[in-house]
Amino acid sequence: MYTVVMGVGTDHERTLRKAHAIADLPAPPESLAVVVVQAGGSSADTPDTARVVSFFDEHDIDSTVETVSTDPPTALVEIATDREADLICVGGRQRSPAGKAQLRSGAQSVMVNTDRPVLVAGEPGDY
């Protein structure tokens, strides 16, 4: 099983881009497992979390939800380590071609603090 960890934030488009990037990985859906990390809330039934879980269900990709109280970048790295994940997926930000080297602070924090591969999802309209 190829395990991917991704976070769910308040930006629905960014969350959907990450889900599409995971579904587009070159692996059969039945070999993927996604851990959806939701920061802050007390349950897994926020609208964006429900939408992304539904998206994975529609694409026959197993997913589980973990709700955490720590900051999202730290939680993604810790959960990826605990679950021995193969990949962490983070969202990008719309930038000029030269500015694509710059990332959101959370995405940058994940990349700096993990030893796992990190997939940066694309721009709006890429899917």
Query: What are the structural domain ranges in the chain?
Result: 2-120
| pLDDT tens, residue by residue, 75-111 | 999 999 999 999 999 987 655 554 445 456 778 889 8
Angle at 64 between CA 63 and CA 69, to 5 degrees: 140
Residue 53 pLDDT greater than 80, yes or no? yes
Q: pTM here?
A: 0.86
Token pair for residue 61? Answer: 């990709």
Find the largest Cα–Cα distance for the chain: 39
| pLDDT tens, residue by residue, 15-33 | 999 999 999 999 999 999 9
Residues 6+ apart with CB under 8 A from 125: none
Give the type of residue at 21. A
pLDDT band at 9 (very low <50, low <70, confident <90, very high): confident
**CATH class, 2-120 region:** alpha beta
Give the type of residue at 14. R
| CA dihedral sign, ordered 56, 62, 65, 70 | negative
Cβ proximity of 88 and 25 under 8 Å? no
Residue 124 pLDDT greater than 80, yes or no? no
